Amino acid sequence: MRIEPGPLCSALTVEHALEYPTRLAHGPDGRLYVSDVKVGSVFVQDEGAVVAELKGLGGPLGVVVDAAGRIYVGSRDRAAVEVYGPTGGLLHAIGPGAIGMPNDLALDAAGQLYVADSAADAVRVYDTASRALVRVIEGAGDASPFRFPAAVAVTSQLGADGTATGELYVADQGNGRVVVLDLEGRALRQLGERMEAFDADWQGRFVRLQSVATDGAGRVYAADSRLALVQVLDADGGGYLAHHGRLGRGPGELYLPLDVELAPDGALVVANAENHRIARFAAPEGGQ
């Protein structure tokens, strides 16, 4: 059933076409928010149709939407995360001038914001209420620093004391791995390994790891922009389970996949950048 138009869709008219889908997020109403770094907008889609456009952004990269409908946008040009209200008005900025490349964003259950700052080889964590920097996570322990962390994903639950517990997944592109940490930044495990170029034995290995997402069934989805596919791995041991997509321009094919997101119905949604569209794959067996 189509969702009734909300305040954002009423306030923000669509002036441009989606050209280069960059990062993805779902809002509390189930709509898909798509940043487009070339157009300079965040587009809002409902059942595949663009219904609103947040325009005039400074190189929008990461995007995430909180339970109140506030839209967090990583601005490459302004070196900050800009926060917009549900009707599109700019509320404030987080970390202005301090974030080199806010490539991807995630929120935990307590409202902490995780920013994959690829240029700084770090994940920055901010308190969204105070806008204060909480911590900087620079790798999986002192001997294993990040190299261009391209994306983040968070699984978390809110405790009785108001703090969140869970896991932080980091797509560590330069090291060809997904690093799993607790929310304090302590390394728990690593999934996958790097390979320099395409190899017939590519399962569980990455050339250019671009994005990461998780579901509630113990699966990790990792998009590789060079291999042009999304691998599905076991969240505990990193074992290869399946994959979606292949290099190409046709239906079900990917060309420079930049982000991956799980829809509320369990479908896999991919920012298919060089094909200039969103790709959608059916939910895997076993549900979310």
Cα of first residue to Cα of last residue in the chain, in angstroms, is 20
| Calpha distance 271→20 (Å, rounded) | 8
Q: Between 1.10.3470.10, 1.10.3720.10, 2.120.10.30, 1.10.260.40, what CATH number should domain 16-208 receive?
A: 2.120.10.30
Type of residue at 130 = S
| Calpha distance 260→265 (Å, rounded) | 14
Looking at CATH, the fold of the domain delimited by 209-280 is given as Thrombin, subunit H (2.40.10)
Where are the chain's structural domains? Answer: 16-208, 209-280
| Calpha distance 104→153 (Å, rounded) | 9
pLDDT at 147: 97
Per-residue pLDDT of the chain (288 residues; tens, 9 = 90+): 344 556 776 678 999 999 999 999 999 999 999 999 999 999 999 999 999 999 999 899 999 999 999 999 999 999 999 999 999 999 999 999 999 999 999 999 999 999 999 999 999 999 999 999 999 999 987 778 999 999 999 999 998 898 999 999 999 999 999 999 999 999 999 999 999 888 889 999 999 999 999 998 999 999 999 999 999 999 999 999 999 999 999 999 999 999 999 999 999 999 999 999 999 999 766 544
Residue with tokens 């041991």: 237
What is the H or E stretch that residue 219 is in? Answer: strand 219-224
| Calpha distance 38→68 (Å, rounded) | 28
From the number of C-beta atoms within 10 Å of its C-beta (0-12, 13-18, 19+), residue 51 rates as buried
